[in-house]
């Protein structure tokens, strides 16, 4: 794919020519510029909203100029031009090409970040590119996974993995969102993004229950993640200043969400107990009423302010009735 990107760029060079001892010649006007001047011209073309002209100029500099520093800068700026023009497919491959061609460059880290950014943006838009290829969101997702496999130790890697989880969450692809958030916790447990990932695992489990409320497992998963968040809050605060800010900001939301989860778990048990009562099997209902009271007491150990619920009030009253029979 990088070869195709390079070929497109080379085809766009035909308006210019480099001549040793003279400089870069504009074949349409005959104007001659030094490589440094031509580089400034190319960037000015990009900033003026003429990316095709900029790519043509930068491609010539990246492939024809003897000065290695000019070639390096031009290659990076060409990839940046693709990105700014929304050609995320080309940008991804051109940044990777830069990394392979200039592995010792001080711009390599920035190129890796931009490669991941291009992949994520391609996943979000999923549209065709300058090459006319019918890319999809899946193309961007695959590319980002590939980049993360190549460069897992970059400081920004967990951020992109977390953002990929949010990408799936916002598209209601909850299974895939869960996979990405789980990867953040497994691969980057000491990164501040683990704070966000743990919270989002809880939220994702909750919304999965909303979609299929007959299955209580997602609700139990949400409880497990939220309780873990509260249990590990002090540890996570010590990860970094950013982690501390995120923990402190999310603690109220976690407590609120956990309160809701607890209430919904009790309601699920109450519905089961009421079903047995409706079937005329009060003694089959009794264990569920008892479980409601036990669970409520357990919940208060985690959330001391957890209120008495309608479920527990009903269970207590019903158990009193059953004790008289």
pTM: 0.88
Q: Tell me the C-alpha distance between 173 and 50, whole Å.
A: 37
Q: What angle do CA 185, 231, 215 make, to 5 degrees?
A: 70
In the numeric block, which tokens belong to residue 316? Answer: 């207590």
Residues forming a β-bridge with 32:
25
Q: What is the mean pLDDT of residues 242-250?
A: 98
Residue 209 — very low, low, confident or very high, per pLDDT cuts 50/70/90?
confident
Contact 201, 181 (CB under 8 A): yes
Q: What is the pLDDT of residue 129?
A: 74
Least confident of 144-158, 168-182, 306-320: 306-320
Q: Tell me the C-alpha distance between 143 and 93, whole Å.
A: 10
Residue 133 — very low, low, confident or very high, per pLDDT cuts 50/70/90?
confident
pLDDT reading at 8 higher than 50? no
Q: What is the pLDDT of residue 7?
A: 44
In the numeric block, which tokens belong to residue 293? Answer: 């009271």
Largest CA distance in the chain: 107
Q: What is the pLDDT of residue 220?
A: 95
Contact 122, 140 (CB under 8 A): yes
Phi, psi of 23 (to 5 degrees): 135, -155
Contact 154, 113 (CB under 8 A): yes
Contact 197, 162 (CB under 8 A): yes
Q: What is the pLDDT of residue 135?
A: 83
């Amino acid at each position: 794919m990088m070869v195709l990107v390079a070929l497109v760029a080379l085809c766009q060079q035909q308006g210019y020519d480099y001549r040793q001892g003279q400089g870069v010649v504009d074949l349409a006007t005959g104007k001659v510029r030094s490589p440094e001047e031509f580089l400034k011209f190319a960037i000015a073309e990009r900033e003026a909203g003429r990316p095709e002209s900029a790519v043509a100029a930068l491609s010539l500099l990246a492939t024809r100029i003897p000065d290695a520093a000019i070639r390096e800068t031009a290659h990076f700026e060409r990839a940046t031009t693709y990105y700014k023009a929304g050609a995320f497919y080309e940008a991804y491959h051109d940044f990777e090409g830069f990394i392979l061609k200039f592995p010792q460059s001080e711009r390599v880290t920035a190129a890796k970040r931009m490669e991941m950014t291009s992949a994520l943006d391609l996943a979000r838009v999923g549209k065709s590119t300058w090459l006319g290829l019918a890319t999809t969101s899946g193309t961007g997702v695959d590319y980002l996974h590939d980049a993360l496999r190549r460069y897992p130790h970059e400081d920004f890697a967990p951020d992109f993995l977390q953002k990929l989880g949010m990408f799936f969450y916002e598209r209601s692809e909850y299974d895939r969102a869960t996979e990405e958030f789980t990867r953040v916790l497994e691969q980057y447990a000491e990164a501040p993004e683990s704070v966000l990932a743990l919270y989002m695992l809880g939220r994702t489990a909750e919304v999965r229950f909303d979609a299929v409320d007959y299955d209580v497992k997602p609700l139990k998963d949400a409880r497990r993640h939220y309780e873990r968040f509260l249990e590990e809050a002090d540890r996570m605060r010590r990860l970094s200043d950013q982690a501390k800010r995120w923990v402190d900001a999310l603690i109220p939301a976690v407590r609120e969400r956990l309160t809701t989860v607890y209430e919904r778990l009790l309601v699920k048990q109450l519905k089961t107990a009421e079903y047995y009562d409706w079937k005329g099997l009060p003694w089959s209902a009794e264990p569920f009423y008892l479980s409601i009271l036990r669970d409520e007491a357990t919940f208060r150990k985690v959330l001391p302010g957890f209120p008495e619920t309608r479920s527990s009030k009903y269970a207590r009253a019903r158990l009193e009735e059953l004790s008289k029979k």
